[in-house]
Structure 1
Amino acid sequence: MARFDERVAVVTGAASGIGEAVVRRLVAEGAQVIGGDLSAERLQALAGDLGAAFRGVVTDVTVESDVEAMVATATDAWGRLDLAFNVAGGARPGPIVDLTEADWDATVDLVLKGVFLSVKHEARVMRAAGGGAVVNVSSLNAHVPMRGGGSYAAGKGGVEMLTRTAALELAEDGIRVNSVLPGLVRTPGTAAVFDRPRVHEAFLARIPLGRAADPDEVAGPCLYLASDDARYVTGTALVVDGGWEITGYPDVRALGS
């Protein structure tokens, strides 16, 4: 398919996991893509795979000047910006009573402020060009709490509401804004779940479809929301979790390995 021929996109968290899957799908469907990530090495490897349709930019999404420069790279290279996928995330987990202020700030800045800064600068460029589509990757944890994940869940919940607010504010500019809420996905960031058999089993027991997602299975819904097939969809939160939300979150504290 060529749903995104002549479209220009930016993707944060582009060099691994869901972000990389989004990049690869976009390029395969005709888009030119700027990928932002902290890892220069992984961006370079991705550029080697994808050729001229992809350019990597080392980007810390918690630093506004980095985000602004990433967006400017898209317009400098291809003269426009049509699509944005804000995927970058991570966490420094810990129980609320023990969590340091620094770890709280690091997590919330990455998962929430990073999305705010990205939407801010992406939307400015899209508005000037007459419209576009933004997809923010939140998390199932926006709806389902987990022990030790207070900062992450709060930040991801904030992403969902930020998305809805942005959809409301930007609709008159022709910009649609939606979010995707993945459940358990096989990425470098979730390796600890799969490395601990009893923990892995506890997670799978909560997932009616009986398995974790591959990154491409989240990238597909992200691209749908950015496509013309979703041209009348804005402000929505699409849960992509194999049914996990309807069963709850496991207590893994006593499971060990």
Structure 2
Amino acid sequence: MIENKTPKRSIVTGAASGIGRAIAEQLIESGGRVLAFDLDKEKLTESAHRYGDAYVAVDGSVTDTLAVRSAVATAESELGGIDALFNVAGGLRPAPIIELAEEDWDFTIDVVLRGVFLCTKYAATSMVEAARGGAIVNISSVNAHMPLYGGSAYAAGKSGVEMFGRNAALELGRHGIRVNTVLPGLVDTPMAAIILENEGIMAEFNANAVLKRPAQPSELAAPAVFLASSAASYITGTELVVDGGYEIGGYPDLSKYL
């Protein structure tokens, strides 16, 4: 039987809330230490008080090269290295294409895709230099496969994350670094509030979704942590859809609501 060892030293982006926070919590509960990287300094501070030395809070943007490099350097000095990177940070400014402001397109693509590139580049550099291997888990979305009304930038960015993950797996495998991607459906997070708080959308979603409910963040954290663990030691360059049957059950027509 393969012993399931979870990473002991991890960077988690978007760690202040939602899926990122749930991943950080599960890693710490499994005996690991986490560098939590997020823009929300207040929520980071709250978690730092709760978890003590196991939680190193760094506020900054995944789109800022200097901030990312600083976060990686802090992980090296405070955690002693990096065993795993979880690219979770995301953002969305929804609007139909002909109404979508160019700056809102740029914002979404920067957070969703550029952030994954920057964090992967600098965390992987640290892993390669340490020559101990490692794991990278990207959080994409089922909207990498399914169009989202008003979410063209988000869907395009998440599709890019999926292919970027495959390419990273191809290039980093020779260094013992595995790269995989999780594709969530609808998750009960602050970013999904525009959908979760709309009674019409949720009525349609619950009528069509196979499991009749959105996921809780912990239900995405568990498979993400698994992919970074020793139990997934021969899994790389793949995608795991964790959507409660969202893709096969159908999804609401958001054009009626946005």
TM-score tier, shorter chain, comes to over 0.9
The residue number in structure 1 matching 2:147 is 145
Runs of 4+ more than 4 Å apart = none
After superposition, where does 1:13-162 map in structure 2 within 5 Å?
A: 13-130=14-131, 131-162=133-164
C-alpha distance in 2, partners of 1:215/1:240? 11
Check the 8 A contact 2:108/2:157 in 1, yes or no.
yes
C-alpha distance in 1, partners of 2:225/2:180? 11
The count of aligned residue pairs is 255
Check the 8 A contact 2:22/2:217 in 1, yes or no.
yes
Instruction: Give the 3-state SS of the residue equivalent to 1:71 in structure 2.
Output: helix
Return the match for 1:217 from 197, 209, 219: 219
C-alpha distance in 1, partners of 2:23/2:80? 21
C-alpha distance in 2, partners of 1:75/1:255? 46
The residue number in structure 1 matching 2:197 is 195
TM-score, with structure 2 as normaliser: 0.96
C-alpha distance in 2, partners of 1:3/1:170? 21
Instruction: Give the 3-state SS of the residue equivalent to 1:209 in structure 2.
Output: coil
| 1:230 correspondence with 2:232 | yes
Superposed CA deviations along residues 45-82 of structure 1, whole A, max 9, x for unmatched, are 01111111001000200011111111111101122110
Superposed CA deviations along residues 169-195 of structure 1, whole A, max 9, x for unmatched, are 000000000000000000111122222
C-alpha distance in 2, partners of 1:81/1:219? 19
Q: Which amino acid aligns with 1:254?
A: K
C-alpha distance in 1, partners of 2:14/2:21? 7
Check the 8 A contact 2:168/2:179 in 1, yes or no.
yes
C-alpha distance in 2, partners of 1:254/1:222? 33
C-alpha distance in 1, partners of 2:134/2:257? 46
After superposition, where does 1:162-177 map in structure 2 within 5 Å?
A: 162-177=164-179
TM-score, with structure 1 as normaliser: 0.96
Return the match for 1:182 from 173, 181, 184: 184
- Higher relative contact order at CA 8 Å, sep ≥6: structure 1 or structure 2? 2
Check the 8 A contact 1:207/1:241 in 2, yes or no.
no
Q: After alignment, is 95-104 or 33-42 more displaced?
A: 95-104
C-alpha distance in 2, partners of 1:2/1:239? 21
C-alpha distance in 1, partners of 2:207/2:117? 34
| 1:244 correspondence with 2:221 | no
Q: After alignment, is 186-195 or 26-35 more displaced?
A: 186-195
